[in-house]
A and B are shown apart, each in its own frame.
Chain A
Amino acid sequence: MRLYNQRIDNVLAVVTLIFLAVFPLLASDFRVELMGKFLVYALFALSLNLVWGYTGLLSLGHAVFFGLGGYMLGLAYSLQNGVPPFMSRFGIEEIPLVMRPLESVPLALLLGILVPGVVAGLIGYFIFTSKVSGTYFSIITLALAMLFEMFVVNMQAYTGGFNGLMGLPRFPVNGEPLPLTTYYFIVLGVTALAYLFTKWLMETHFGKVVKSIREHESRIQFFGYNPARFKIFVFTVSGMLAGLSGMLYVPMNGFISPQDVGVVMSTSVVVWLAIGGRGTLMGPVLGALAVNWLSNLLSEQYPTLWQLFLGAVVVLIVLFLPNGLYGTLEHWWKERSLHRAEKETKAVLLTESKVDLKKARWRA
Chain B
Amino acid sequence: MSGYILETEGLTVQFGGFQAISNLDFRVKKGELRVILGPNGAGKTTLMDLITGKTKPTSGTIRYDGKDITGLEPYETARLGIGRKFQNPHVFDKMTVLENLEVAFRGYHRVFSALFYRKNAEIKDRMAEILSVINLKDKAEQLAANLSHGERQWLEIGMLLAQDPQLIILDEPTAGMTAEETCKTGELIQSVFRGRTAIVVEHDMAFVRQIAQVVTVLHQGKLLAEGTLAEIENNPKVQEVYLKGDVDA
> Which residues of A does B touch, CB under 8 Å?
1-2, 201, 204-206, 208-209, 211-212, 215-216, 218-227, 229-230, 233, 338, 341, 345, 349
Contact = CB atoms under 8 A, between A and B. Distances in A.
A209 B75 contact: no
Please provide the 7 A-B residue pairs with the shortest distance between their CB atoms, ordered closest to farther.
A205-B117, A224-B78, A206-B114, A221-B74, A224-B79, A219-B90, A221-B75
A2 B84 contact: no
B115 A223 contact: no
Contact of A212 (B73, B83, B92): B92
Contact of A205 (B86, B102, B106): B102
A161 B52 CA distance: 54
Interface stretch (B12-20, B93-101, B213-221): B93-101
Contact of B117 (A204, A215, A220, A229): A204
Contacts of B84: 222
B59 to A, nearest CB: 22
27 contacts: A204-B114, A204-B115, A204-B116, A206-B115, A208-B102, A208-B103, A209-B103, A209-B114, A211-B92, A212-B92, A215-B93, A216-B92, A218-B74, A219-B90, A219-B92, A221-B75, A222-B74, A222-B83, A222-B84, A223-B159, A224-B163, A225-B75, A226-B75, A230-B114, A233-B111, A341-B141, A349-B138
B100 to A, nearest CB: 9
A208 B73 CA distance: 21
A223 B114 contact: no
Contacts of B224: none
Given A215-B93, A222-B74, 9 more contacts: A205-B108, A208-B102, A209-B103, A211-B92, A223-B103, A229-B110, A230-B111, A233-B111, A338-B142
A224 B75 contact: yes
A229 B111 contact: yes
Contact of A1 (B104, B108, B141, B159): B141
B83 A220 contact: no
